[in-house]
Amino acid sequence: MKSQTLLLVMLFLQLSYSYAQKTILWKVEKEGASNSSYLFGTMHQVGNSFIDERPKIKELLLQSDIAVFESVEDKKKTIIDVMNGRPDDFSYRDKLDKKDVQFLESLSADWTVPVCKLTPAELAAKLEQLYVLNVCETTKPGDVWNHLDDYLLSLAVKNGIRNEGLETNADQFKAINANQIFDWNEAKEDIDTRIKNLQEKRNKNQSCRIARTYMGDMNFDYQFEVECAEDDPMLINRNRNWLPKIHETIKSNNAFVAVGLLHLFGDCGIISDLRRQGYKVSPVPIQKNSQ
């Protein structure tokens, strides 16, 4: 998970730059075209109250002709089935510390996919998700949804908005594992750190600052002129694969495109590419409902 960690550190350092944009929502338009689209940067492990308290986001989604997400497939019928169809692999019990094994097997008692079916990369990703949800507190007690993209997709489906995915779940599944090629021996230290972060709520002030900024003033510097790190091919390759479909969709539709926030950063990001293609991409302020 080294490249992902480097990205998060870079993002953390960029929060207070003077060129920061206080938004995660962007309007995309082209001179002479009658249609316009919106690009929304999501933080996946965030509850539905974030959207409910910011009606502008939902309003623009429901005004669109088409809603575009990273993937729109039913994960339960694809990735989970693939994982659970694997033979059991308990080698982690021999490679990880005994206390870590005990914690993992207690923690995963109600998981839809047990630890013995997960690769080291998949387990690391799962622990990261739990850390954001449980330590960074990105959901509220009344939230029904704890995944922002899934909630937005449910709103689109409920309101009859046509929706499309930029990739299949199989593509996402492949990307996670292709970018994190390490075995249990190599993953031991990483997994141990993630477990202790969960147990002890370590580094909450630093590691969760991105989440607090996202849910607060959204004061991010997108660093459009900064070259993307070559040690994160997953981000670069996914952007490269998505962009032709995004171009085709926004050319003739009023589209609402929702992708992970990091896909908007840097010179390889979606915003930089759209600007190179002649689009005007402008920040849109998001106001929170006053309570």
Tell me the whole-structure pTM to 2 decimals. Answer: 0.86
E-strand ranges in the chain read 21-22, 25-29, 36-42, 66-69, 162-165, 219-220, 255-260, 280-283
Distance, in Å, from the CA atom of 91 to the CA atom of 87, rounded to the nearest integer, reads: 12
Q: Which two three-digit tokens encode residue 67?
A: 């809603």
Q: Name the CA radius of gyration of the chain, rounded.
A: 19
Which range has the worst mean pLDDT, 37-51, 162-176, 192-206? 162-176
Residue 203, pLDDT score = 79
Residue 185, pLDDT score = 85
Q: Which two three-digit tokens encode residue 247?
A: 């171009």
CA angle 255, 256, 258 (to 5 degrees): 140
Per DSSP, the three-state class of 71 is: coil
Q: State pLDDT tens for residues 92-110.
A: 999 999 999 999 999 999 9
Residue 9, pLDDT score = 43
Distance, in Å, from the CA atom of 286 to the CA atom of 17, rounded to the nearest integer, reads: 20
- Residue at 131: amino acid letter: Y
Residue 17, pLDDT score = 44
- Burial code of 72-94, b = ≥16 C-beta within 10 A, e = fewer? bbeeeebbbeebeeeeeeeebbe
Check pLDDT > 70 for residue 261: yes
Check pLDDT > 70 for residue 252: yes
> How large is the average pLDDT for residues 43-55?
96
Distance, in Å, from the CA atom of 185 to the CA atom of 280, rounded to the nearest integer, reads: 48
- Burial code of 135-156, b = ≥16 C-beta within 10 A, e = fewer? bbebbeeeeebbbbbebbbebb
Q: Position of tokens 């952007």?
A: 239
For residue 45, the tally of other CB atoms under 10 A from its CB is: 20
What pLDDT band is residue 172 in, cutting at 50, 70 and 90?
A: confident
For residue 183, the tally of other CB atoms under 10 A from its CB is: 11
Residue 164: Cβ-neighbour burial (10 angstroms; 0-12, 13-18, 19+): middle
> How large is the average pLDDT for residues 135-164?
95
Residue 107, pLDDT score = 95
Residue 118, pLDDT score = 92
Percent of the chain residues topping a pLDDT of 70: 87
> How large is the average pLDDT for residues 268-288?
95
